Each structure stands twice: as C-alpha cells, then as structure tokens.
Amino acid sequence: MGKRELGPYPGLRYAHMVSKDVHSSHVVRRFALHPIDIERPEKGRRVEARECGSCQKPLKFKVLSVAATRSRRWVWLVLGLAGVAAALGFGVALFEVGGQVVEEGAPNPVGPLVLGFLAGFLSGIVGLSYWWYEDGVRGPGSPLMSFGVHVLRWPRH
Ligand SMILES: [Zn+2]
C-alpha cells in the first residue's frame, strides 16, 4: 500500500519508451523511468511542463492537490463499488430468470439483464482500477492505457 500514500510529490513516474521489440508471440517494451518533480499544490491543480529526461521533448503534467486527489479516489471507489453491486444484482436476477420458461411472444428479459450485468461489471473494473492507480497526476498517457512513447507508470518495487 506504500505506493498509494500521498506525499508532497507525485508517486507516479513518467516513462519514455526506449525500445519496442516485436516478437512473434509478444512485445517487449523497455522504458526509462523519470520522477515527476512537480510539487503538489496546496489547493486545486498545478499545470507545468517538464522536458523529458530521455528525449527532451516538453511534456505537460497536471498535478492535483492531496485533497483533490483524495476526492478523485473516492469518486472512483464509489463508481467501482456501485458497478460491482449492479453486476451482482443483475447476476442474481439473471440466475432467477434463467430457470424460468418465457412464453412465446413475451419479451425476453435476459438481454437487458446481460447488458446491465456487463455494464456494471465494466464500470466496476474501470472504477476500481482507477481508484487503485489514481495519484492525482495527468500527463502523457495513463497508467492503464498508453499508445505513445510516453506513459505514466508506477515504479516497480
Ligand atoms: Zn521522451
């Protein structure tokens, strides 16, 4: 849990992709990790640019205050738990409906239930992963998705 503690500086690092080797079954990407030396503001957010330590390209970062980061985490957590709860609810309903015989011509209730289950499941996963990764930092790429050379990453322990 140590990595999720909120210090005066972001715990996230930014990474510059050094190389990308495409093998037949997998892709190996190597990154150079650099700290984000932007102090968290007292309140609100701070937007600053830093030169990438690897390629000197200017990168824009947005760093949120401790309070703002905490409230983001709450939002993600609530969204994630609501999603999990919805998925459970729809799952139970599906289980009950699954054993029933639907009369011909009557609308089939399974479709909407499956959709509800999937929607809940997805927002549960997204909410909880963002809750876990949220460090109040926005920059090039997110820790969860990245398509470019730069990405935010947690340092490995
Ligand atoms: Zn770079």
Q: How far apart are CA 103 and CA 95, in angstroms?
A: 18
The DSSP symbol for 112 reads H
Say how many Å lie between the CA of residue 125 and the centre of ligand 1. Answer: 30
Give the model's pLDDT for residue 102: 67
Percentage of residues in the chain with pLDDT exceeding 70? Answer: 92
Which is more confident, 157 or 46? Answer: 46
Q: Residue 92 above 70 pLDDT?
A: yes
Q: Which residue has the tokens 């715990």?
A: 11
Say how many Å lie between the CA of residue 13 and the centre of ligand 1. Answer: 12
> What is the average pLDDT across 71-97?
94
Contact 52, 59 (CB under 8 A): yes
Say how many Å lie between the CA of residue 140 and the centre of ligand 1. Answer: 10
Say how many Å lie between the CA of residue 42 and the centre of ligand 1. Answer: 28
Cite the DSSP H helix spans in the chain.
66-98, 110-133
DSSP bridge pairs for 19: 30
Say how many Å lie between the CA of residue 34 and the centre of ligand 1. Answer: 10
Say how many Å lie between the CA of residue 57 and the centre of ligand 1. Answer: 6
pLDDT-based confidence at residue 141 (cuts at 50, 70, 90):
confident
pLDDT-based confidence at residue 145 (cuts at 50, 70, 90):
low
Q: How far apart are CA 108 and CA 97, in angstroms?
A: 10
Give the model's pLDDT for residue 75: 96
Q: Which residue has the tokens 């984000």?
A: 36
Q: Residue 84 above 90 pLDDT?
A: yes
Give the model's pLDDT for residue 146: 63
Q: Residue 51 above 80 pLDDT?
A: yes
Say how many Å lie between the CA of residue 135 and the centre of ligand 1. Answer: 21
Give the model's pLDDT for residue 2: 46
Ramachandran angles phi, psi of 149, nearest 5°: -80, -30
The DSSP symbol for 157 reads -
Q: Which residues contact 55 (CB under 8 A, 6 or more apart)?
A: 16, 149
Mean pLDDT, rounded, of the chain:
89
Say how many Å lie between the CA of residue 151 and the centre of ligand 1. Answer: 9
How confident is the model over 99-113, as pLDDT tens digits? 776 677 777 778 889
Say how many Å lie between the CA of residue 32 and the centre of ligand 1. Answer: 9
Give the model's pLDDT for residue 110: 84
Contact 130, 76 (CB under 8 A): yes
Say how many Å lie between the CA of residue 10 and the centre of ligand 1. Answer: 18
Say how many Å lie between the CA of residue 16 and the centre of ligand 1. Answer: 5
3-state secondary structure at position 45: strand
